[in-house]
Amino acid sequence: MPEIKELVKQLAEKHGRTRESLLPILQGIITEERYISDAAMTEVARELDMSAALVYGTATFYSFLDTKPRGKYVIRLCRTITCDMKGKKQILKTIEDLLKINVGETTKDNKFTLLETNCLGWCHKGPAMLINDEAYTELTPEKVSEIIGDYIKNK
Amino acid sequence: MPDKKLKRVDLIFSEECSCKDVLAEGLKKSKEEIIKEVLDSGLRGRGGAGFPTGLKWKFTSEQAEPEKYVVCNADEGEPGTFKDREILSRVPLKVFGGMAICGKAIGAKHGYLYLRGEYQFLRKDLDKALDQFHATIKEIGFDFHIHILMGAGAYICGEESALFESMEGKRGEPRNKPPYPTIAGFRSKPTVINNVETLVYAFMITRIGAKKFMELGTADSRGSKVFSVSGDTPIAGIYELELGMSLADFVEEFGDGDTKAVQVGGASGFCVPRKKFKETIIGFEGVPTGGSMMLFNSSRSMYNVLKNYVEFFEEESCAQCTPCRVGCQQLRKGIEAVKKGEKSAAYLDTLKKLADTMKITAKCGLGQSVANSFSSIVDNFKEEMIY
C-alpha cells in the first residue's frame, strides 16, 4: 500500500504527529479515500507512534469516519422526524430504485454509498441530504433523480 | 401566566454596525469592565443549558494558570436546530468578535471553533472571514488567534467535555464533572466554552450595553433568542424573538391552525400539548430551548415522533455509561412492544421509571435528558402510544 503510506505521511507533515493530529489526519484520509482501511489505520498508528487499537477506537467512534469501504460519493439522507414529515421516505425509495441499492449498501461500480444520518440542520428545508460535503435541500423525487442523475453522468 | 407578547428582534443579524469598530471599542475596556457588562446583562447560555455567561467568564478569568482557551461550540446537533449554521454563514465576524472579547476578559490568546462535520461546506467562507478577522485584530493590536477544528458526525460532541476530548483527538466521551471547564477544560486548562449564539450576544452586549439588552425578556430570561422553527408550519425558518412569550402566542404566529403539540428544545427537550400552550412560557422560567421548535399538527402520530427521538438517542449514545447505553435501547424496545400489544399499557409506567432513573444516573446531559421528551410525550399522548 505505497499510496496510503504516502498519503498518511503527507497528512502527518501537515497536521503534526501528536494525539491532537489524529482526527484531522483521519478526516484527511476520508477526503481522499472515502473510508479508513485497516491498513490505513495501522499506517497512521506507525506514523504517529501510537497503538493501532487507539487509532481504531477513535476512528470507529465517529459516524463520518467510515471504516468500511464506501463509494466515491457517500449519500447521507437525514432521518430526523422533520425531514421524515416532509417526505423523506419517498426520497429514500427514489434513490434506492435509481441506484438499485438499499440503505447501507454501495453500488457495484463503487460510485455511490447510501446511508441515513441524524439531523443535518436543514429542518426548515427538508428533506435534506449530503453528498460527500455538499448539502442538498427541499428534495422532491424529481429533484433528487436529477441530482443523482447528474452525478452519474458528469462526475 | 406570561406577560410578554411575541416580538421580533433584530440584534444577531443586524448589519448596522461595523464589526471592526465594535471590536476595537470592546477591546479597549478592561477585563473587569467586560465581565461586569456581561454579568449585568443577565445573558445565559444559548445552547440550551442556560448557564450565566458572565459567571463562566468570571470563574475562568480568576484562574491563575497562564494558558487559557476560548472555545466556540459549533457542534449544533440537536434535532430541529439550525440557527448556528445560519449565524455562522451570515455573521461569522460577530462570532469571532465574541471569542476575542471573551479572550480579553479571561486572558486567553487562542480560541477554537469546533464545527460539526455536517457543516463542512461552510468551511471555505469561514476561512475567508477568519483571515479578515485576523487582519482586523492585528490592526487593533490585540494578540488573539482563532483555529477551526472539524467534528466528524457525533451528536455527543456538543456536550462540552466530550467536545474537549474530541479536540484532543480522542473518542468524544464525556468526562466526569467536576472539574468544570472553567478550571480544567481543553488540554485540562481553564476554558470558556460558549455556544455560537451566546458569543454573538456577548459581542452585541459590548456594543449596545447591558441595560439595553436587559430591557428585552424577563427576569429569568434576559434578552432575545434565535429560534429554529420547523415541522408543520407555513413559515419554517430562523426567527429572533424576545424571550418570555407564551407558547400560545408562538403557535398563533407560526402554527398552521391545527397545531396539536410543539416539541420545545429538540429531542432532548419537552413536548407541550395544545391544552398547555397558554400557560407555557418560552424561557428559563418555563420551558427552555436551545432554539429548536418543532410543530406537529393533528395528522401526525406522536408515537412516530417519540420513536424517532428514542432511536436518535440510542444511536448517538456514546455507550460509555450503562444507564444511557442500555436505557435508550430498552426504551425503544419497550414502546415498540406496547405498540404491538406484546406488553400492556401499564408497561409505559415502567418505562417512565427507567427514563427517570437515567435522569439521575446517566453520566452526562444526553442520557439525563432522554426522560424529558420521553415522559412528556408518553404522558400527554398515551393513547397514541398504545393504539
| Tens of pLDDT, residues B65-86 | 999 999 999 999 999 999 999 9
Closest chain A C-alpha to B358 CA, distance in angstroms? 22
Q: What is the pLDDT of residue B16?
A: 72
Residues of B in contact with A80 (CB under 8 A): 79-80, 308, 312
State chain B's mean pLDDT as an integer. 96
> Using an 8 Å Cβ cutoff, are B294 and A81 in contact?
yes
On whether residue B291 sits in a domain, the answer given is no
Would the CB atoms of B149 and A23 count as touching at under 8 Å?
Answer: yes
Q: What is the pLDDT of residue B2?
A: 61
The closest alpha carbon to B270, from B359, B138, B179, B178, belongs to B359
* Domain end (from B178, B213, B248): B213
Cα(B387)–Cα(B382) distance, rounded to whole angstroms?
9
Q: Are residues B57 and B186 in the same domain?
A: yes
Q: What is the pLDDT of residue A1?
A: 60
Q: Which of B73, B119, B189, B230 should we substitute to test contact with A (largest number of A Cβ atoms within 10 Å)?
A: B230
Cα(B152)–Cα(B80) distance, rounded to whole angstroms?
19
Assign residue B349 the CATH number of its domain.
1.20.1440.230
> Using an 8 Å Cβ cutoff, are B320 and B161 in contact?
no
Across-strand partners of B195?
B73
Would the CB atoms of A24 and B118 count as touching at under 8 Å?
Answer: no
Q: What is the pLDDT of residue B15?
A: 76
User: For A6-10, which contacts have Cβ atoms below 8 Å and span 24 or more sequence positions?
Assistant: A7/A32, A7/A33, A7/A40, A8/A40, A8/A43, A8/A44, A8/A47, A9/A47
Omega before B181 within 30 of 0, i.e. cis: no
Q: Are residues B50 and B171 in the same domain?
A: yes
On whether residue B60 sits in a domain, the answer given is yes
Q: What is the pLDDT of residue A7?
A: 97
Q: How far is CA B171 from CA B30, B114, B189, B210, B345, in A?
A: 38, 15, 19, 39, 39
Closest chain A C-alpha to B34 CA, distance in angstroms? 32
Helix axis angle, A2-15 to A38-48, nearest 10°: 40
User: What is the secondary structure of B270-289 as a DSSP string?
Assistant: EEEEGGGTTT-BBSTTSB--
On whether residue B98 sits in a domain, the answer given is yes
Confidence of residue B48 (pLDDT cuts 50, 70, 90): confident
Q: Are residues B322 and B208 in the same domain?
A: no
Would the CB atoms of A81 and B304 count as touching at under 8 Å?
Answer: yes
- Residue B238 predicted with pLDDT over 60: yes
Find the CB nearest B120 among A24, A26, A133.
Answer: A133
pLDDT one-digit tens code per residue, B152-175: 999 999 999 999 999 999 999 999
The DSSP output letter for B222 is B
- Say whether domain A73-154 belongs to CATH 3.40.30.10: yes
Per DSSP bridges, beta strands B224-231 and B237-242 are: antiparallel
Closest chain B C-alpha to A111 CA, distance in angstroms? 21
The DSSP output letter for B8 is B
Q: Which of A35, A67, A79, A82 should we substitute to test contact with B (largest number of B Cβ atoms within 10 Å)?
A: A82
- Give me the amino acid identity at B165: E
- Determine the straight-line distance between the first and last CA of chain A, rounded to whole angstroms: 26
**CA nearest to B317 within chain A:** A61
Q: Which of A35, A124, A133 should we substitute to test contact with B (largest number of B Cβ atoms within 10 Å)?
A: A124
Domain count, chain B: 2
On whether residue B235 sits in a domain, the answer given is no
**CA nearest to B293 within chain A:** A123
Q: What is the pLDDT of residue B14?
A: 87
Q: Is B310 strand, coil or helix?
A: helix
Instruction: Report domain extents, chain A.
Output: 2-59, 73-154
Half-sphere exposure of B302 (CA within 13 A, CB side): 28
Q: What is the pLDDT of residue B267?
A: 97
Q: What is the pLDDT of residue B4?
A: 81
**CA nearest to B312 within chain A:** A118
On whether residue B187 sits in a domain, the answer given is yes
Q: Are residues B187 and B53 in the same domain?
A: yes
Quick one: how far is CA B375 from the chain centroid? 21
* Domain end (from B195, B213, B231): B213
A-B C-beta contacts closer than 8 Å? 116
* Domain end (from B185, B213, B241): B213
- Residue B132 predicted with pLDDT over 80: yes
Find the CB nearest B308 among A23, A81, A126.
Answer: A81
On whether residue B218 sits in a domain, the answer given is no
Measured over the CA atoms of residue B309, residue B314, residue B320 and residue B323, the dihedral's sign is positive
Kindly give, in sequence order, each residue whose CB lies less than 8 Å from that of residue A4, ignoring residues fewer than 6 positions away. A33, A37, A39, A40, A43
User: What is the secondary structure of B146-203 as a DSSP string?
Assistant: EEEEE--S-GGGGSHHHHHHHHTTS--PPPPSSSPTTTS-GGGS-EEEEEHHHHHHHH
Closest chain B C-alpha to A78 CA, distance in angstroms? 10
Would the CB atoms of A121 and B300 count as touching at under 8 Å?
Answer: no
Q: Are residues B341 and B198 in the same domain?
A: no
Closest chain B C-alpha to A100 CA, distance in angstroms? 26
User: What is the secondary structure of A29-46 as a DSSP string?
Assistant: HHHHHSS--HHHHHHHHH
Q: Are residues B314 and B206 in the same domain?
A: no
Q: Are residues B90 and B191 in the same domain?
A: yes
On whether residue B33 sits in a domain, the answer given is yes
Residue ranges in chain A whose pLDDT is less than 50: none
For residue A141, what is its C-alpha cell? Answer: 423525487
Q: Does A113 touch chain B (CB under 8 A)?
A: no
**Domain residue limits at B368:** 302-386
Q: Does A86 touch chain B (CB under 8 A)?
A: no
**CA nearest to B316 within chain A:** A118
Measured over the CA atoms of residue B36, residue B59, residue B173 and residue B376, the dihedral's sign is negative
Residues of A in contact with B318 (CB under 8 A): 61
Q: Does A53 touch chain B (CB under 8 A)?
A: no
**CA nearest to A117 within chain B:** B153
Confidence of residue B224 (pLDDT cuts 50, 70, 90): very high
Measured over the CA atoms of residue B278, residue B80, residue B270 and residue B300, the dihedral's sign is positive
Q: What are phi and psi of B229, to 5 degrees?
A: -105, 125
**Range B343-361 average pLDDT:** 98
The closest alpha carbon to A131, from A74, A77, A79, A84, belongs to A74
Q: Are residues B308 and B194 in the same domain?
A: no
- Residue B208 predicted with pLDDT over 80: yes
